[in-house]
Every structure is written in C-alpha cells, then in structure tokens.
Amino acid sequence: MLLCIALPKKASKLTAITAAVALAIAPMPPALAQQNKGPPIIRDTEAEQVLRDYTRPILRAAGLEKQNIQVVILNESGFNAFVADGRRIFVNHGALMQSETPNQIIGVLAHETGHLAGGHLAKLREQLAQAQTQMIIAMLLGAGAMVAGTRGGNSNGGLANVGAAAVAGPQEMIRRTLISYQRQQEENADRAGVKFLTASGQSAKGMYETFKRFTNDSLFAARGTDPYLQSHPMPAQRVAALEELARSSPYWDKKDDPALQLRHDMVRAKISAFMERQDTVYRRYPLSNDSLPARYARAIATYLHGDLRSALGQIDGLIQVQPNNPYFYELRGQALLEGGKAAEAIAPLRKAVQLSNNAPLIEMLLGQALVGTDNTAHTDEAIAILRAAVGRETEAPLGYTQLAMAYGRKGDFAQADLASAQAAFLRGDNKTARELASRAKTRFAIGTPGWVKADDIVAAKPLPGQNSN
C-alpha cells in the first residue's frame, strides 16, 4: 500500500518552522507553500521499513536510538532531506529515487543525523529569531531614510536610493550570515555523519557521491532546482574535505549488501510505479528488463491502470520468486480491494499481516477488506484488528475511517461518530472533527471513555498556523 496523505496535525508546527527557514535561506518547496495544507506525505510499510533499517545503525552510533526518531517520506520528486523538530527526518521520495544505492541515501541520512545530534536546529532557530529582529530594525531604518528622502523633495535623487539600499543591504547581509553559519554546521554535520557511518561499519562513499553531484560548480547545481542544494551549499572545498575524510575510513570500499540493494531497488520501483506517469514507468522498467524490481513496477502500473486480471497474474509471478515477501501479498490484496473484490482480498491481506509481523498499515487494509464485504460476520474481527492497528499507528486516518464503518454496521453510532471524528482530526479537518465529536458526546454516557475522547477532540485547540475552521 502506498498512500499519499496530508501531514497529520501533530506535525503541522513543522511547516511553520520550515517555512521560516525556507523564507530566510531558500525558496520554499511547493508543497510547503500551500497555505493551511500540510505537505502530503507518503505512507508505505515497505518503504518505511527500509528507511528504518537505514537509520537504525546511524541513530545508534549517534546515541539517539532512544529518541524514537521517525523518517517521514514527503511526496516531492526533487532531491531533499531535512530535519525540522528533532523528532523526524524528512526525505523526499525524489531523494530515494535519485539514490542508486542504499549507501548513497544512508550517507544523506547520516549527514542529517549529524544536524540532529549537533543540535543545529535549535541554534538555527535562535539565529533566525535574532535575524528577524535585526531585519525589522534594518527595515525601519531604511523606511525612515526613504521618508526623509521623500520629504526633502528629493525622491528621484540620492537619499531615496540610499533608503532602498538600506532595506536591501542588511537583509542580504543577514542572509549571508545565516548561510555562513550554515556552512560551519554543514561541515560539522559531514564530519559527524562520517563518524556515525564508520562507527556502524559503513562506507561514507555514498555520501560523498551524492554531495559531489551537488557541488556548487556542477551541472546539477547550475540547474538549481533541488531544494537540498538550496539549503545545503556545497562548495567544492567542503566536498573535497568530505572526500578526504571518507577515504580515510577502513570501510571506504565496502559494498552494499546485495539483499539490501534489492530492497532499495524494490522501493524505488514501487515509488516510480505509484508516483510517475505510466510511460515514464515503462521507460524506466521496459518489458525487456526481467529483474524483480522491473516486474514489480510493471505489476503495480498494470493494476493502477485498470487491468486487474493481468496484474494478478504478474503479482502471482512475483510471489513465486519470493513466497515470503509480505508486500507482494499486500499488493495482491490492495489490487483486489480496489478492484471491488473485498472478499477475495481478505486471504492475501491476512498473509501480508502475518508475514509483516502485524504491520499496522497493512492491518488497516485488512480491516478495510473485512468491512468491505457484505458479510457482517467479519465486523467484530475488523473492529479488533483496526483497534489494535490504530493503537500502534496513531497518525493514519484510514484505520479510524474503517473503524467508523465497522461500528456503523453494528449500529454503534456513538463509537462510529467518535472514530469519524478521530479520522477528521488526523486529516487536519478540525471543523468536521469537532462537529462529529460533539455529536458523539450526546450519544455516550457522560464520563465514559468514549465521551472523554470525544470531549478531548471538541476541546482541542488548533496549533499556530493550522487551519482553525
């Protein structure tokens, strides 16, 4: 399952922080520029599991393994990765697509972990707060000079221009100060990243390869389109220092584990198939390419473009090659479910849940299949599975949407309203969440657990910058 959903409420304050940083030092990524809509994120068990496996040894080496740091995949095709709140590392799907080896993206994750471990974000925030004050003073001074120029009847002459220069000058100076501060942080994050990689027995070659691609005088940099480059200046000098450091590691020539490379390529194939145009998918993965990732991409593209029978045949072929791969069964279930065959989707989704050790996003899909059949005998099982899933995966609205349907089927409208309210709340639709939660409150006895949960939603205050309506 690969879902694109709005970034849940909890993360919305990140948007504001990122926007502030972006305004100061780099153009805002398009998704962040959309007001009151969190950047859409991609939820997929397979991709998230791979990224967890990439980050775990690095976070351990950085002493951050207890911090429960999540990697969040953003639905953006440009290359970007950044930290924003000390709890999450954001990675564009484009950064995964453009990383040919696990080691290349692991290097970027190691560098970002270097920012986290170095507390760079807190310092940057502080710096920004100061910069804003300075900026305000500078603008006041500049405006004052302009007013003075105009009053002197000299609006076409020197003084007015001095005023304009005073406005532009300090801002440019502040921008440069911020970037030079960033440069020091960048070098520190590089060094920390290499240290974490070496400590976990990994090569920093991939980090060097990626950053070299972004070097300021490279063709890539000349294009200037990728947000990563805007926020991570890559002077040749820095990349040369990184190369020297990386080469000194005993693991410089260590190759990626072939099994990990395959998982990496499978995730890239999946992202391509779900996110890119059909002709692009077939150009990347032509019929002449018989590799497992190419067959995976084509199977997904086939089901997405409506040929369920052919897609199922292709998926069965994949299952023959890897009979214990949970994501092939998940795909089979998802294709059947979306093809209107909920009852047939149940068996492969049960298998996917079992093989994935009860991955909650897959459990939600199984719950959806159970609810989607006309057989009410499945309803209690659906509720049990969905309750367990929403308990472990607290940010995906799908679980609550399906729970609401299951409760509705049982005639338990209090629980159905509460679950619908929780789903709306996670989508960031506070108005609907409040309305449904208020209605749920009238259906529960006062003070019961359901009533308390509904009351919490009614009373919840939107975070700054979040749509309050």
- The interface region with Zn ion, picked from 94-102, 185-193, 256-264, 316-324 by CB under 5 A, is 185-193
Cβ of residue 125: shortest distance to Zn ion, in angstroms? 15
Cβ of residue 340: shortest distance to Zn ion, in angstroms? 47
Q: Residue 144's CB: how many other CB atoms inside 10 A?
A: 12
List Cβ neighbours of 331 (8 Å cut-off, separation of 6 or more): 299, 300, 303, 315, 318
Query: Cα separation of 63 and 69, whole Å?
Result: 12
Cβ of residue 198: shortest distance to Zn ion, in angstroms? 18
Output 232 or 427, the one with its CB closest to Zn ion: 232
Output 191 or 409, the one with its CB closest to Zn ion: 191
Query: Cα separation of 348 and 336, whole Å?
Result: 9
Q: Judge whether 4 and 423 are in contact, CB under 8 Å.
A: no
Cβ of residue 75: shortest distance to Zn ion, in angstroms? 22
Output 84 or 312, the one with its CB closest to Zn ion: 84
Q: Judge whether 37 and 15 are in contact, CB under 8 Å.
A: no
- The interface region with Zn ion, picked from 186-194, 288-296, 349-357, 430-438 by CB under 5 A, is 186-194
Site for Zn ion (CB under 5 A): how many residues? 3
- Is position 238 an interface residue for Zn ion (rule: CB under 5 A)? no
Cβ of residue 345: shortest distance to Zn ion, in angstroms? 43
Output 186 or 330, the one with its CB closest to Zn ion: 186
- The interface region with Zn ion, picked from 226-234, 291-299, 391-399, 442-450 by CB under 5 A, is 226-234
Cβ of residue 87: shortest distance to Zn ion, in angstroms? 17
- The interface region with Zn ion, picked from 30-38, 121-129, 230-238, 407-415 by CB under 5 A, is 230-238
- Is position 232 an interface residue for Zn ion (rule: CB under 5 A)? yes
- E strands present in 123-244: none
Output 213 or 232, the one with its CB closest to Zn ion: 232
The pair of structure tokens assigned to 215 is: 């070097």
- The interface region with Zn ion, picked from 65-73, 178-186, 370-378, 406-414 by CB under 5 A, is 178-186
Cβ of residue 316: shortest distance to Zn ion, in angstroms? 44
Q: Residue 309's CB: how many other CB atoms inside 10 A?
A: 10
Query: Could you say which residues in the range 98-137 bind Zn ion, by CB under 5 A?
Result: none
Output 182 or 402, the one with its CB closest to Zn ion: 182
Q: Which residues pair with 74 in a beta bridge?
A: 41, 92
Which H or E run includes 246? helix 236-247
List Cβ neighbours of 2 (8 Å cut-off, separation of 6 or more): 42, 43, 44, 47, 270, 271, 274
Output 186 or 209, the one with its CB closest to Zn ion: 186
The pair of structure tokens assigned to 164 is: 């304009």
| Binding string, residues 189-208; x marks residues near Zn ion by CB under 5 A | x-------------------
411: alpha, beta or left, given left = phi > 0 and alpha = psi -120 to 50? left
Which H or E run includes 201? none
List Cβ neighbours of 422 (8 Å cut-off, separation of 6 or more): 390, 397, 400, 433, 453, 457
Phi, psi for 3 (deg, rounded to 5): -115, 140
Cβ of residue 211: shortest distance to Zn ion, in angstroms? 9
Output 25 or 41, the one with its CB closest to Zn ion: 25
Cβ of residue 54: shortest distance to Zn ion, in angstroms? 17
Output 232 or 332, the one with its CB closest to Zn ion: 232
Pairing of strands 40-43, 70-74: antiparallel
- The interface region with Zn ion, picked from 187-195, 281-289, 312-320, 450-458 by CB under 5 A, is 187-195
Summarize as ranges the residues that interact with Zn ion (CB under 5 A).
186, 189, 232
